[in-house]
Structure 1
Amino acid sequence: MRLLLASLILLVFIPLNAQTTRKYSNEFMNIGVDAAALGQSNAVVARSNDVNAGYWNPAGLINLEDNQLALMHSSYFANIANYDYAGFAMPLDDNSAFGVSLIRFAVDDILDTTQLIDEQGNVNYDRISLFSTADYGLTVSYSRNLPIQGLSYGVNAKIIRRIIGDFASSWGVGLDAAIQFETDNNWKFGVMARDITTTYNSWSINEEEFAKVQNAVEGQNQELPETTEITIPKLQIGVAKLYRFHYDYTLEAEIDLNVRFEQNNDVISTSFASINPAFGFEFGYIDMIYLRGGMGNFQNELQIDNSEQLTFQPTFGVGFKYNGIQVDYAFTDIGDQSVALYSNVFSLKLDFSIFR
């Protein structure tokens, strides 16, 4: 499986025709963080109000009452790819807050078989080496209250680092902007605009190492890949409502619209933009035990008979919080409701108030 994945990575990396710019990049930054959010189909942009708001909606950081730390780990593709996240946030004063987070998505210990056969045509397994392909995203967040009660804004500055062994590496920068509004009767609204300036990745190609790939695929004579990628802007718009029952029980539900400015297989798609709805809920008991669920990633999938079938991605999660320590778990299919591989996601959140 690792050998197959290595081949796929190298083939994707080598286009048939060289271009100066690739339109899509940094999809690892769209996977999501925090098992609590993933258990609700990522429908949290209107009500994210903790350290993880630095990712979902930095305007929500203003709700922090103390410093917070968050950690998350998940595995994809039968544990071949690992996704790790760490975030820290703190209030600066009564009207502003700051956060920083780091994401790493990587496949490690990939077999490099480009030198498997020596100059005499002999297979020499000692010539096999290992390499990793890793994506890193560092985000610095700032949030501030606006003069209107319940309204806040937030911004993210992102630095992207992508590495494909010794073959190539890139640097990228980008900006996000967001707002969040909460009414007195527990309605919440949020808008998150990602990559508002388009995020640029500039690649540096190691031509000597890349030549080994070219020579390993006989008769192909591939040209060097693109040196620039851009990430087009995206919008996430959400509305949420909090309900309380008999003091001990709460239900918070949210509906989001995820907007991409392209045409694809989303349930609503035009030449200008595509819209994908998502729904998530969280049922809580005494602010300690949580049950979560959601549906998202609605797609019109083309079937073998040329008909279209609507598919979606279900999610499920649970959480437990006590004295400022919160442990969350999410069980989600990375694709749709089919028999594709499911992922187990765990996250930990620590509120520094427990030390006071």
Structure 2
Amino acid sequence: MKFLIKSICLLYLLQLPVYAAVAVHPKAGSTSASFLRLGIGGRPVAMSAYTAISDDVQAVHWNPAGLSQLKENELSIMHNESFQGIKHNFLGYAHKLKGGYLGLSFITLTVPTDLERRSGLNENDVFDPITEVEGYFSASDIAGILSYSRKVSPSLYLGGNLKYIRQTIDIDNADTFALDLGALYSVDKIKNLKLALTLENMGGGIKFIRKEFPLPFSITFGAGYKTVNDKLILAIDFKQFVDDYLTTSIGTEYSLTDMFVVRGGYKYRLNGNPLGDISGLSTGLGVNFNNVSFDYAFKPYGVMGDTHRLSFRVRFQEIRQLYLFRSKPTGKKISKEEISLPVQKIPDIDKYTYTLAETDAKFIPIDNRTFRANVTASAKQGSIRKVNFVMPVPAQSEIKVYFGETDLPELSPKVSKKKLIYRHFNIKPELRIKKMFYEIRIPGKWIDENNVNSEKIIFMFKEERNKYLEIEGNKTISAGDFYYYSVEGPALPFTVVGIKKAR
């Protein structure tokens, strides 16, 4: 991690100008549809860098691949009260499909009807070249965007946008189509680090009357890092437009509480920011309520004025589900009669198919946002018999809990040689769970055959690559052919539980 931070700092410092003057790019002003350059969303604009962080419906603008990181359907509305009366708006919706996410969004930019219309008939008059105002007109831009994104592997997300772009100046208008492509990659060796790449505005130009102006094509590379508890997010973007110098954006987000978030960022353009150093600054805050978020961003534009973006996001809750998967005993098949429910595909884990067992779940409300759940499984071969956990979700949510049976991948040889593994359990909560208490049963025959001391069973919870948290189980009862143990364990997204043989 230290190497990553040093590398980012070095790349940023290498872009600092060797002289203070602001340089104008040779192709400056040669492209059309400049409104596509403007940032969308209170959260992204406040951070300045968002390509590798994109995890909401606003990803359609920053990186369409990020749509696949959504957990639920989402609607977002943004209004940008810009300088000189210019209004910038966004409306977007993302819907979860079986194979990915589909998004539909619109971006508009409107200029007040205060642009002066002059004929220019006297422009050759050296004494009075400026003609009288003959009227006023307005201008507007609109883009309709159809997006699709899917997770193609455990570490790789891909996405794309098809854009319809239309510009209107007074009574004249022109339109075109464009394509965006995006990729998002989770780095396996560095936990919580993501890399991103986007290609934007690939398509035909905008043609008014006789001359055609190309779209502002750009390439962006980004990196984002979340701390283990997700309280702090760091991001950096390198963006290259076809008609401008390279810009570097750095941003951060810090969660003060589950409700309040503060953000800040800075964008630097190689050879200087045209509107002054202050124009690179951005800041903002966010307020979260269950499935609703409000985000505000402040961004100055030097002598042009300041902009204020306010965005609203709402997530449409589906049925909340907690999946607890366990592996089949080696060499033994489970008969269909022992499983209560048919084989089903579990979202986001396409590599494995899980046979689900019935559960009896009782949810006791602690307050208006938190449940205590008591769950009992009914599969005859089940090792996990009961689970007790505290789960902060809205009281009106519908909640389902499944215990699944499947063949999970074996642990690495290094781990298997040191530990006696009875069975693996893959625990995947879709919600934030505070504590988990398990009641696990183990066949007495297995304990006897492996010389395990039934009074001292150590359960191992996998926290990260080959690193285990060891917790001693509390033997409760012996019933029939089984020993029953209670243990408090972590509630990590992916947990492998084993049993350590006492020496």
Partner of 2:312: 348
Partner of 1:109: 113
Given candidates 234, 259, 274, the residue that maps to 1:253 is: 234
Question: Which whole-Å CA distance do the structure 1 matches of 2:231 and 2:102 have between them?
Answer: 29
Displacement of 1:312 in angstroms is 5.8
**Structure 1 position 161 matched with structure 2 position 166:** yes
Higher RCO structure (Cα 8 Å, ≥6 apart): 1
Question: Which whole-Å CA distance do the structure 1 matches of 2:45 and 2:273 have between them?
Answer: 26
Given candidates 239, 243, 266, the residue that maps to 1:295 is: 266
Q: Quick one: structure 1 residues 151 and 161, their matched pair in 2 at CA, closer, same or farther if it must change by over 3 Å?
A: same
Contact between 1:23 and 1:230, CA under 8 Å: does it hold in 2? yes
Contact between 2:77 and 2:92, CA under 8 Å: does it hold in 1? yes
Question: Which whole-Å CA distance do the structure 1 matches of 2:89 and 2:292 have between them?
Answer: 19
Letter in 1 for 2:31: Y
Displacement of 1:288 in angstroms is 2.1
Question: Which whole-Å CA distance do the structure 1 matches of 2:204 and 2:255 have between them?
Answer: 38
Letter in 1 for 2:225: K
Displacement of 1:112 in angstroms is 5.3
Given candidates 81, 86, 97, the residue that maps to 1:81 is: 86
Contact between 1:159 and 1:174, CA under 8 Å: does it hold in 2? yes
Displacement of 1:111 in angstroms is 5.7
Question: Which whole-Å CA distance do the structure 2 matches of 1:91 and 1:301 have between them?
Answer: 42
Across the two proteins, how many residue pairs are aligned to each other? Answer: 278
Gaps of 5+ in 1: 1-21, 116-124, 206-225, 265-273, 304-308
Q: Quick one: structure 1 residues 144 and 297, their matched pair in 2 at CA, closer, same or farther if it must change by over 3 Å?
A: same
Question: Which whole-Å CA distance do the structure 1 matches of 2:86 and 2:246 have between them?
Answer: 28
Displacement of 1:231 in angstroms is 1.4
Displacement of 1:128 in angstroms is 6.6
SS at match of 2:61: helix
Given candidates 237, 259, 269, the residue that maps to 2:221 is: 237
Identity %: 26
Deviation sequence 1:197-224 (CA, Å, 0-9, x none): x442233x4xxxxxxxxxxxxxxxxxxx
Displacement of 1:302 in angstroms is 9.8
Q: Quick one: structure 1 residues 230 and 325, their matched pair in 2 at CA, closer, same or farther if it must change by over 3 Å?
A: same
Question: Which whole-Å CA distance do the structure 2 matches of 1:311 and 1:323 have between them?
Answer: 35
Letter in 2 for 1:282: E
CA RMSD of aligned residues (A): 2.7
**Structure 1 position 31 matched with structure 2 position 62:** no
Letter in 2 for 1:182: S
SS at match of 1:48: coil
Larger radius of gyration: 2
Partner of 2:409: none
SS at match of 2:31: coil
SS at match of 2:52: coil
1:270-289 matched pairs, under 5 angstroms = 274-289=245-260
Displacement of 1:258 in angstroms is 0.7
Given candidates 46, 49, 54, the residue that maps to 2:55 is: 49
Given candidates 51, 54, 65, the residue that maps to 1:59 is: 65
SS at match of 2:43: helix
Contact between 1:64 and 1:90, CA under 8 Å: does it hold in 2? no
SS at match of 2:246: strand
1:77-226 matched pairs, under 5 angstroms = 77-78=83-84, 80-93=85-98, 95-110=99-114, 114=118, 131-146=137-152, 148-166=153-171, 168-183=172-187, 185-196=191-202, 198-203=203-208, 205=209, 226=210
Letter in 2 for 1:243: T
Partner of 2:288: 321
Partner of 1:70: 76
Q: Quick one: structure 1 residues 299 and 89, their matched pair in 2 at CA, closer, same or farther if it must change by over 3 Å?
A: same
TM-score, scaled relative to structure 2: 0.51
Contact between 2:47 and 2:263, CA under 8 Å: does it hold in 1? yes
Question: Which whole-Å CA distance do the structure 2 matches of 1:152 and 1:51 have between them?
Answer: 15
Contact between 1:298 and 1:311, CA under 8 Å: does it hold in 2? no
Contact between 2:106 and 2:142, CA under 8 Å: does it hold in 1? yes
Contact between 2:194 and 2:224, CA under 8 Å: does it hold in 1? yes
Given candidates 47, 67, 82, the residue that maps to 1:40 is: 47
Letter in 2 for 1:259: Q
Letter in 2 for 1:187: L
Contact between 1:66 and 1:352, CA under 8 Å: does it hold in 2? yes
Partner of 1:222: none
